[in-house]
Amino acid sequence: MASIGRTAYPRFARVVSARELTEVFTPSPAEVEWARGKTQDDQHLLALLVWLKAYQRLGYFPKLGDVPPVVAEHIRGVVGLAEQVVFAAEAFNASLKRETLQGAKRWSSAREACLAVLMWITRYNTRRRHSTLGYLCPIDYEQQTIDRVLLAA
């Protein structure tokens, strides 16, 4: 019987060997250069390279959460990115945890906890400055974009 990795629905192996990391998941210099040209920051560079190598291996783009951490760590190391560089979703979750949940008191109800998270998400999506937006908050970034478009018209 064929292994799951050799079927019509390939998946990552439970354990990714050092040999497979080197032979399959090491991006070439040309791939790194291409990805750098398509991304604006290291976070997105890492995600694009992980997706590229995963697609080459599996034949489809997996959810980033399904990629074994060792693959992302390998690619991060090969490209020379700092350990702090993580996927966008990981960064969002880390910010939520750090800014809302860490050191927080116990909430008296699930509703109170949900409201705290909702307030954080509202701030994150409207007022919090984002490095990917040139350290502007989304509202200011949107206004600048609208102004640029109107001036160009």
Q: Are residues 106 and 140 in the same domain?
A: yes
Burial of 75 (0-12, 13-18, 19+ CB in 10 A): buried
Signed CA dihedral, 97, 100, 106, 110: sign only? negative
Give the range of the structural domain holding residue 109, as residue numbers without chain letter: 88-152
Please identify, among 79, 105, 123, the residue that sits at the C-terminal boundary of a domain: 79
Percent of the chain with pLDDT over 90: 27
103 shares a domain with 146: yes
The CA-atom distances, in angstroms, between 99 and each of 84, 87, 113, 117, 137 are 17, 18, 13, 10, 16
60 and 116 share one domain: no
Q: How many domains in the chain?
A: 2
Do 94 and 111 belong to one domain?
Answer: yes
What is the C-alpha separation between 149 and 69, in angstroms, rounded?
Answer: 41
pLDDT digits (tens, 9 = 90+) for 67-86: 888 999 999 999 999 888 87
Last residue of a domain, one of 79, 111, 136: 79
pTM of the entire predicted model: 0.58
Interhelix angle for 42-58 vs 88-96, to 10°?
A: 130
